[in-house]
A and B are shown apart, each in its own frame.
Chain A
């Protein structure tokens, strides 16, 4: 059974710092990996999608990498800002019985202090 783990569960950094969030998964048979952001009481916003054949994706100050063989992904946030404070969720897409499903980690709660 696929399991997704995110470490650390919470992270607090001063503004301007570069930081890395980690995600690991137990089964390398994934379709893709997606990073989401969730603000308190809100839905999820997709940040980056990495297909299983890709190694990384970039969007602005965000860079996500994928190492399928080792079952790891990282989300790098450059020059963090207080507005980056949120919970970041990692999810892998698996196929099961012809259907596609996401398996989520529990998230990393990020606080960026001014």
Chain B
């Protein structure tokens, strides 16, 4: 089955802890993206990567970090510096040249 997987579906952490969200794709896509979704706010871009070992900050990168060591994987770390980390996090991937973006099922992170 081809697609994008995100794990876990639900994640709970205490304030002050770093947490890493997993995103894996087997679609052979070059580009991968991380978005955050809050009620009434739509999707906001956190980080994106067009090729392995390269990534760029999106609109709300502060308090987050990523790596792209493999084409298939693009993990997102939510650090303790992120002031409001509780949200729904979505990962996506796409080919190049204006190709369709495909989304994973999302991870709901709750920090208390």
Contact = CB atoms under 8 A, between A and B. Distances in A.
The size class of the interface chain B forms with chain A is: 20 to 34
Contacts of B94: 100
A104 interface: yes
B42 A107 contact: yes
The size class of the interface chain A forms with chain B is: 20 to 34
Interface string A77-101: 0000000000001010100011111
Interface string A53-65: 0000000000000
Interface string B88-109: 1010101010101111111010
Contacts of B42: 89, 104-107
Contacts of B33: 101-102
Nearest to A96: B56
A57 to B, nearest CB: 11
Given A45-B103, A106-B42, A100 B98 contact: yes
B75 interface: no
Nearest to B43: A104
B103 A101 contact: no
Interface of A: 31-32, 34, 36, 41-46, 49, 51-52, 89, 91, 93, 97-102, 104-107
